[in-house]
């Protein structure tokens, strides 16, 4: 409320200054002249005389200024008096307003709280005295804190006033307290908004002499703090060998034009008075390139550019001129003999080796495929042997029957089968007069398989001992062969799964990249 009174007084002075615009003089003097003239006129209207006609002052002036100067000196005297009074009152009003403002700037507030300095201000300390307000009978009702400096006088007046009231209430001194009042801190929302502003500023501030973070060749300037922001900055790097926390760039081992990406992370910390404080971080993508060209490399680049320019200028001429000087140095050109013939010979030798190795690999694959096919056909062949032998055919007749059936199926479009081709060869040997024992032995040797070797041995043994137990032996062999075929099928299935493992891993990696890369860039943005 007081500040409004002080303001009204200043406003009154301003109004008087405006109203006295036609009076003589300047500033406060002009206001004094205006008040003097208006006072005289108002006094004459009310009392028939002016307010400034005191007999004692006029008598004294008459003594001092005889000879008809009384009226002028009297006017000068009252104008000066009014001017001094106005000036003293104005200065008093200004000092009162300043005192009120100084009181408003104190730490202790009327509500009992302590005012903090604005954000970024200094921490302050104050000495406070505490008093207990007690009513009659000694019961405590409330507590008030008064600052020892500035407020102590008003506190003493309040205590004396309350003590004069008798037994109604009194203030009892509780004690003196020294308090540290920290300056105000940003709240979480304000601090995060300020952090975003700093994050937007950092990419340009850390460049150093580099043109952009996308092309870093020299050291970066990674500040620990930025003026105007209350944050502590800690830098992290995805590759400290390329860019460390001091901004040093380790690109000496890189080739010219070679680039490597580095992720810099700025971690902002701010003590906002809460447990742990505030922590914000943001990543910046930088690309480190090889160091700048040496003098020799620069000269080489200049020579290449000079040759290119000369080629463009002499495109319609018979001769392409070569630069003879560059950078103050003479250039002597020598032509190297072409080494394309030797290179072609080396390339041909490598190609021949690779082609031979590939042919051998393909041949081996065919052999492996034939052996696997014969192994899969073995249970079927044994079953047919059991069928035909059980029907009364001999071993020789059985081979002939299997060969005839195979030829018929070949004519119908069946693909060649290795085991049946060997059976057909046995039939031809038997037709040409080769003894059965020898033909069966050759059959086992050519098939190169444990199962067929066993079959040939059983057949040869049957010729020596007779075929009394041959059917039962073949039935047991048929049962064992089917079990072995199931085992082989499981093995082939496992091999197929192993071959599919690599494509599955590649597909999984591609799927993870499709998911992770957009997510990574969304978080980085």
Give 146-197 pLDDT, tens digit per residue.
Answer: 444 444 444 444 444 444 444 456 666 555 566 665 656 677 787 788 888 8
The length of the chain, given as a count of residues: 525
Contact by Cβ (8 Å): 36, 78: yes
The residues near 230 (Cβ < 8 Å, ≥ 6 apart) are: 119, 120, 186, 191, 194, 270
Helix, strand, or coil (residue 515): helix
Please determine, for residue 108, whether its predicted confidence score (pLDDT) is greater than 70.
Answer: no
68 vs 339, more confident = 68
Please write down the HEC assignment for all residues of 300-365: HHHHHHHHHHHHHHCCCCCCCCCCCEECCEECCCCCCCCCHHHHHHHHHHHHHHHHHHHHHHHHHH
Residue 138 is predicted with a pLDDT of: 46
> 56 falls in which pLDDT band (50, 70, 90)?
low
Please determine, for residue 469, whether its predicted confidence score (pLDDT) is greater than 60.
Answer: yes
Contact by Cβ (8 Å): 141, 134: yes
Question: How does strand 232-237 pair with strand 169-181?
Answer: unpaired
Q: Which of 13-22, 283-292, 463-472 has the lowest mean pLDDT?
A: 463-472
| Residue entry with tokens 């996308």 | 214
Q: What's the rounded Cα separation, in Å, for the pair 44 and 53? A: 11
Residue 463 is predicted with a pLDDT of: 75
41 vs 47, more confident = 41
Residue 151 is predicted with a pLDDT of: 43
Q: What's the rounded Cα separation, in Å, for the pair 290 and 286? A: 13
Nearest to 384 by CA among 474, 483, 489: 474
Q: Report the b/e string of 242-271 with b at 16+ CB within 10 A.
A: bbbeebebebeebeeeeebebebebebebe
Q: What's the rounded Cα separation, in Å, for the pair 224 and 269? A: 11
What share of the chain has pLDDT > 70, as a percent?
A: 69
pLDDT digits (tens, 9 = 90+) for 113-151: 655 655 555 555 565 556 556 565 544 444 444 444 444
Q: Is 477 exposed, middle or buried (0-12, 13-18, 19+ CB in 10 A)?
A: buried
């Amino acid at each position: 409320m007081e500040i409004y009174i002080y303001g009204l007084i200043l406003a009154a002075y301003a109004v008087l200054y405006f109203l006295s615009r036609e009076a003589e003089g300047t500033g406060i003097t002009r206001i004094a002249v205006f008040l003097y003239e208006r006072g005289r006129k108002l006094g004459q209207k009310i009392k028939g005389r002016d307010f400034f006609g005191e007999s004692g002052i006029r008598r004294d002036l008459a003594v001092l200024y005889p000879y008809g100067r009384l009226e002028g000196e009297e006017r000068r005297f009252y104008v000066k008096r009014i001017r001094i009074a106005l000036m003293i009152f104005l200065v008093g009003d200004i000092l009162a307003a300043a005192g009120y403002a100084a009181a408003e700037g104190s730490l202790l507030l009327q509500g009992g709280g302590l005012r903090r300095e604005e954000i970024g201000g200094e921490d302050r300390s104050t000495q406070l005295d505490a008093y207990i307000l007690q009513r009659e009978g000694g019961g405590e009702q409330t507590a008030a804190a008064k600052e020892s400096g500035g407020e102590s006088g008003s506190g003493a007046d309040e205590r004396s006033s309350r003590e004069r009231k008798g037994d109604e209430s009194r203030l009892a001194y509780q004690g003196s307290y020294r308090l540290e009042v920290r300056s105000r801190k940003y709240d979480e929302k304000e601090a995060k908004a300020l952090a975003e502003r700093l994050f937007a500023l950092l990419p340009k501030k850390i460049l150093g002499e580099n043109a952009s973070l996308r092309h870093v060749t020299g050291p970066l300037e990674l500040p620990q703090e930025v003026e105007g922001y209350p944050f502590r900055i800690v830098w992290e790097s995805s590759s400290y060998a390329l860019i460390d926390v001091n901004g040093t760039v380790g690109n000496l081992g890189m080739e010219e034009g070679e680039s490597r990406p580095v992720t810099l992370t700025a971690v902002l910390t701010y003590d906002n008075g809460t447990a742990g404080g505030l922590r914000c971080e943001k990543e910046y993508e930088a690309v480190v390139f090889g160091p700048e060209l040496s003098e020799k490399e620069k000269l080489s680049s200049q020579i290449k550019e000079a040759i290119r320019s000369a080629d463009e200028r002499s495109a319609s001429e018979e001769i392409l001129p070569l630069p003879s000087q560059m950078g103050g140095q003479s250039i002597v050109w020598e032509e190297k003999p072409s080494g394309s013939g030797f290179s072609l010979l080396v390339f041909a030798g490598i190609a021949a080796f690779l082609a031979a190795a590939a042919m051998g690999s393909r041949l081996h694959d065919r052999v492996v495929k034939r052996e696997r096919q014969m192994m899969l056909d073995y249970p079927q062949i044994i079953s047919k042997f059991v069928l035909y032998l059980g029907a009364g055919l001999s071993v020789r007749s059985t081979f002939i029957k299997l060969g005839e059936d195979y030829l018929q199926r070949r004519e119908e479009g069946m693909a060649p089968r290795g085991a049946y081709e060997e059976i057909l060869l046995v039939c031809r040997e038997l037709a040409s007069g080769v003894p059965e024992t020898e033909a069966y032995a050759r059959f086992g040797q050519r098939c190169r398989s444990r199962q067929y070797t066993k079959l040939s041995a059983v057949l040869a043994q049957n010729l020596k001992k007779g075929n009394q137990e041959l059917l039962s032996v073949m039935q047991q062999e048929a049962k064992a062969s089917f079990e072995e075929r199931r085992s082989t099928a499981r093995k082939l299935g496992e091999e197929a799964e192993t071959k599919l493992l690599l494509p599955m891993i590649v597909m999984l990696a591609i799927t993870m990249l499709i998911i992770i890369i957009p997510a990574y860039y969304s978080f980085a943005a």
